[in-house]
Amino acid sequence: MQTMKDLLKWVDEVKNLCQPDRVYWLSGSKEEEKAFYDELVSSGKAIQLNPLLRPNSYAFFSDPSDVARVEKRTFIASKKAEDAGPTNNWIEPNALKKTMTSLYKGSMKGRTMYVIPYMMGPLHSEISKAGIEITDSLYVVVNMIKMTRVGYDVIEEIKQGKSFIPGLHSVGAPLENNEKDVSWPCAPIEHKYIAHFPEERLILSYGSGYGGNALLGKKCLALRIASKIAKDEGWMAEHMLILKITNPEGKFKYILGAFPSACGKTNLSMLVPTISGWKVETVGDDIAWIWRKKDGKLYAINPEKGFFGVAKGTSYKSNPNAMKAIEKNTIFTNVALTDDLDVWWEGIDQEKPKHLKDWQQQDHDPSMKIPAAHPNSRFTTEATESPVLAKEWDDPEGVLISAILVGGRRPSTIPLVHESLSWNHGVFMGSMMGSEITAATISDDIGRVRRDPFAMLPFIGYHVGDYLNHWIDMGKDIDPDSLPKIYYVNWFRKDAHGNFLWPGFGENSRVLKWIFERVDKQATAKLTPIGYIPELDSLDLSGLNITKKTFKKLTDVNVYEWLKEVDSIRIYYQTIGQKLPLALEEELNHLKHRLKMELYEMKKHKMGCYLSPIGHILYEHENHHLYGLSIEEDFHEESFVFENDDMIEHELSDYFHGDLKNFDVDVVFEKGTDFQKRVWNQLLQIPFGQTKSYQDIANAVGNPKAVRAVGQACKKNPVGIVVPCHRVIGKNNKLTGYSGKHYIHLKKKLLDMEKAFLR
């Protein structure tokens, strides 16, 4: 919407639809805010905390059904379903509006309708966006005051021609006939809707009072709607921290960081360095808007004005600056309360008191295993409460970005830190980031990586493929030296006993120092297939009990693990569909090629290469004995020197021309368990052009129950084609396995070829 006239008309339409008892426009004054808290306390919706222990702070407690973002009830109502993509829930926009209009009708009866003019980003910034949220929740009002720039200043900018993004929110609990209100009104889950209309720049939220669903300036505007606006206008709205790091000489840089939940994003943004003379300050802890200026460089602002952080696990050990920021003037949601009216949660520094009121305001027994604070308990406080807030946090010109971090919680495979080879390679790193599912979740998923590109999975307001392509486009037509370096960090690598190899928290400043010095071309690095990793003497480990052996484990690039990672990424990319950027497919292929080259250089035997009708066949050999064979469809032959074996080449040629049914070359199994070798030898007995089931092979090796183990043995077969695992099929003649789902087409090609030669 564009004008003040549009705003007044829309407010009037909402008033007529929702039928509130009164309408109140926020001014943004401190007196107004104080009156809101007084009303919340007197109505029983908030508890004022002990002013001696936690001055000017308040606690709220939600309905048990309304404690987090409800992703299943969050919708991207683009005009076309394909524009929402595979990561979003889609409903046809007109149908969704009809449903929500019926819900909004009379939804604010007995309540006050608050009109909140707010700005995302500093006032007068070229990239800032104005919003208007209409809500019937005073909890939402006081949180929006802390999280955004609220008041008449925003109205003045709208009067001067700044467009605004409308957002309507109702808790969905009208009060009829002087009905008494509850402390946390909300609607049942099936009536909750958090809807975004990206082309129309409209947000409609109904039924939930929780932060991410109801504070419409946060995820709804600042990420989902803003990400679509950013794509259309040529900038980026990202789920990223912004930190300022200063070295002992006073030189500073600004770094962005994208991390999925439970990876320490807020902790990193407020880091207390353990290395002498270095300082970290916060520009933003959650969201960054990034744009290219006329100088061809990328700048960022923090569009928010406050912190909406997870309380659980926050302590003076994990994040002392966050703890200092919430000592006063803070809203707490779903924490536990002590008898002297202070806050408590699991992971805070002090021991659990003998008595607590839990997040549902019930007496809590310390011996109970049920947490006293909700795992998603929150604090809301203004950025200016932080003792490490950078002076540039509110600068309308933004800050120049020197580096971008991506990361996840990975106990293996991913090293402590590695630097991208190029902008596109960095985008690839961001596209495949995520966290590994642990034993705390469903057992079948243990070890699987939940991919979360740039930590934006729940927040991309359009197709994920278009989003990743927009990242690629942002790097075009810019001098590579002007682009930020991209780094993948992993604080969570573990040893064989499940212990973290890296101490984390403040010690992460050592990795930031290495990144700082890499940007300045000072720190050394070792080139690996996945990018640049620190040399031992380039990462400051002074004062840490990190041995050379531990450092090697922290920075190890295990080729075999990474080849599995490539397969996993390829399967994930298939879910994106045809809109996956070609540049990312190429980066994945290049990574696999570099890993294969590393692997071949590690081999102790000679390597040969035969160009077959289905791709390059690479084989490991010595004295006419065959030790390994694999099919590579995307192989670049010119980058490696091969030593071919005439006899093996001749047999492969005869096989692909239909002149050879049984290979004569001697196969040597250097690795593998006893069981696997029995399976591989049994595969050699399957005639050309015929097939056996996994059950048949299990029976043949004398272990009928080992069908799954047979499948794993086939997957680990070191000598493909010659040891014909492609001739093993699933039940009902179904093609399965063959080193991952994306290789099934090779299995089909080989079987079709053999059957054709038998005709």
Q: What is the full DSSP assignment across 210-255?
A: SHHHH-TIIIIIIIIIHHHHHHHHT-EEES-EEEEEE-TTS-EEEE
By three-state DSSP, how is residue 634 classified? coil
The CATH classification number of 238-302+390-563 equals: 3.90.228.20
Range in 115-129, 198-212, 443-457, 619-633 the model is least confident about:
443-457
Q: Looking at residues 696-701, what average pLDDT do you find?
A: 96
| Residue 740: predicted pLDDT | 46
Nearest 5°: phi and psi at 291? -145, 160
Q: What angle do CA 447, 450, 453 make, to 5 degrees?
A: 145
The candidate with the shortest Cα–Cα distance to 218, out of 160, 317, 144, is 144
Residue 655 has pLDDT above 50, yes or no: yes
With 0-12 / 13-18 / 19 or more C-beta atoms within 10 angstroms meaning exposed / middle / buried, residue 443 is exposed
H or E stretch covering 747:
helix 744-758
Cβ within 8 Å of residue 260, ≥6 positions away: 408, 409, 433, 434, 435, 450, 452, 455
- Percent of the chain scored above 70 by pLDDT? 97
Query: Rounded CA gap, 586 and 303, in Å?
Result: 34
**Residue 648 and residue 619 in contact, taking contact as beta carbons nearer than 8 Å:** yes
Query: Rounded CA gap, 546 and 549, in Å?
Result: 8
Q: How confident is the model at residue 443 (pLDDT cuts 50, 70, 90)?
A: very low
H or E stretch covering 423:
helix 423-431
Q: Looking at residues 379-405, what average pLDDT do you find?
A: 98
Q: How confident is the model at residue 25 (pLDDT cuts 50, 70, 90)?
A: very high
CATH topology of domain 308-385: Phosphoenolpyruvate Carboxykinase; domain 2 (2.170.8)
Rounded to a whole number, what is the distance in angstroms from the first to the last CA of the chain? 70
Q: Beta strand pairing status for 74-76 and 193-197?
A: parallel
Length of the chain, in residues: 759
Q: How confident is the model at residue 439 (pLDDT cuts 50, 70, 90)?
A: very low
Residue 745 has pLDDT above 90, yes or no: no
Return the sign of the alpha-carbon dihedral for residues 650, 652, 656, 659: positive
Structure token pair of residue 545: 């009990």
HSE toward the beta carbon, residue 513, CA cutoff 13 A: 22
Query: Rounded CA gap, 410 and 416, in Å?
Result: 10
> pLDDT tens digit string along 465-477?
999 999 999 999 8
| Residue 275: predicted pLDDT | 97
Residue 440 has pLDDT above 60, yes or no: no
Cβ within 8 Å of residue 600, ≥6 positions away: 607, 618, 640
CA 310 from centroid of its chain's CA atoms: 16
Query: Rounded CA gap, 334 and 354, in Å?
Result: 19
CA 635 from centroid of its chain's CA atoms: 31
Most confident region among 296-305, 599-608, 707-716 by mean pLDDT? 296-305
Distances in Å between the Cα of 320 and the Cα atoms of 313, 316, 712 are 12, 4, 48
| Residue 445: predicted pLDDT | 54
**Residue 686 and residue 696 in contact, taking contact as beta carbons nearer than 8 Å:** no
H or E stretch covering 131:
strand 129-135
Cβ within 8 Å of residue 539, ≥6 positions away: 510, 511, 514, 523, 551
Q: What angle do CA 378, 381, 384 make, to 5 degrees?
A: 150
Q: How confident is the model at residue 597 (pLDDT cuts 50, 70, 90)?
A: confident
Domains of the chain, residue spans: 4-47+65-233, 238-302+390-563, 308-385, 603-759
Cβ within 8 Å of residue 644, ≥6 positions away: 608, 609, 610
- Please give the model's pTM, rounded to 2 decimal places: 0.86
Q: Active-site residue 263, yes or no?
A: yes
Query: Rounded CA gap, 245 and 515, in Å?
Result: 11
DSSP for residue 140 = H
* Residue whose tokens read 């293996």: 412
Cα-based torsion angle of the residue sequence 316, 319, 321, 322 in order, rounded to the nearest 10 degrees: -100
Ramachandran sector of residue 361 (left: φ over 0; alpha: ψ -120 to 50; beta: rest) = left
Distances in Å between the Cα of 684 and the Cα atoms of 290, 431, 697, 701, 712 are 58, 41, 11, 13, 17
In the chain, how long is the greatest CA-to-CA distance? 94
Query: Rounded CA gap, 135 and 119, in Å?
Result: 16
Q: Looking at residues 570-580, what average pLDDT do you find?
A: 97
Across 238-276, b (16+ Cβ under 10 Å) vs e yields bbbbbbbbbbeeeebbbbbbbbbeebbbbbbbbbbbbbe
**Residue 85 and residue 464 in contact, taking contact as beta carbons nearer than 8 Å:** yes
Q: Looking at residues 502-519, what average pLDDT do you find?
A: 98
Q: Beta strand pairing status for 288-292 and 298-301?
A: antiparallel
Distances in Å between the Cα of 585 and the Cα atoms of 421, 474, 563, 581 are 16, 18, 15, 7
Cβ within 8 Å of residue 155, ≥6 positions away: 4, 117
The Cβ of residue 361 has, within 10 Å, a number of other Cβ atoms equal to 13
Cα-based torsion angle of the residue sequence 548, 554, 560, 563 in order, rounded to the nearest 10 degrees: -150
Range in 6-15, 555-564, 724-733, 736-745 the model is least confident about:
736-745
Q: Looking at residues 581-585, what average pLDDT do you find?
A: 98
HSE toward the beta carbon, residue 731, CA cutoff 13 A: 2
Q: Beta strand pairing status for 606-612 and 615-622?
A: antiparallel
**Residue 416 and residue 490 in contact, taking contact as beta carbons nearer than 8 Å:** yes
The better pLDDT of the pair 601, 406 is held by 406
DSSP for residue 73 = G
**Residue 267 and residue 319 in contact, taking contact as beta carbons nearer than 8 Å:** yes
Q: Which CATH class is domain 4-47+65-233?
A: alpha beta
DSSP-assigned beta bridge partners for residue 67: none
| Residue 742: predicted pLDDT | 47
The Cβ of residue 97 has, within 10 Å, a number of other Cβ atoms equal to 18
**Residue 333 and residue 343 in contact, taking contact as beta carbons nearer than 8 Å:** no
| Residue 609: predicted pLDDT | 93
Query: Rounded CA gap, 40 and 333, in Å?
Result: 14
> pLDDT tens digit string along 55-74?
999 999 999 999 988 889 99
Q: Looking at residues 379-408, what average pLDDT do you find?
A: 98
Query: Rounded CA gap, 339 and 354, in Å?
Result: 10
Query: Rounded CA gap, 201 and 168, in Å?
Result: 12
| Residue 444: predicted pLDDT | 45
| Residue 336: predicted pLDDT | 98
The candidate with the shortest Cα–Cα distance to 470, out of 41, 85, 738, 48, is 85
| Residue 41: predicted pLDDT | 98
| Residue 622: predicted pLDDT | 94
Cα-based torsion angle of the residue sequence 78, 300, 214, 409 in order, rounded to the nearest 10 degrees: 90
**Residue 334 and residue 371 in contact, taking contact as beta carbons nearer than 8 Å:** no
Q: How confident is the model at residue 441 (pLDDT cuts 50, 70, 90)?
A: very low
> pLDDT tens digit string along 242-258?
999 999 999 999 999 99
Query: Rounded CA gap, 723 and 716, in Å?
Result: 11
H or E stretch covering 37:
helix 30-42
Query: Rounded CA gap, 396 and 124, in Å?
Result: 7
DSSP-assigned beta bridge partners for residue 631: 617
Q: How confident is the model at residue 639 (pLDDT cuts 50, 70, 90)?
A: low
Tell me, what amino acid is at 312?
Answer: K
DSSP-assigned beta bridge partners for residue 394: none
Q: Looking at residues 621-634, what average pLDDT do you find?
A: 89
Which among 18, 186, 220, 263 is annotated as catalytic?
A: 263
By three-state DSSP, how is residue 595 classified? helix
Query: Rounded CA gap, 332 and 326, in Å?
Result: 9
Q: How confident is the model at residue 369 (pLDDT cuts 50, 70, 90)?
A: confident
Mean pLDDT computed over every residue of the chain: 94
Q: Which CATH class is domain 603-759?
A: mainly alpha
Query: Rounded CA gap, 3 and 279, in Å?
Result: 44
The Cβ of residue 79 has, within 10 Å, a number of other Cβ atoms equal to 13
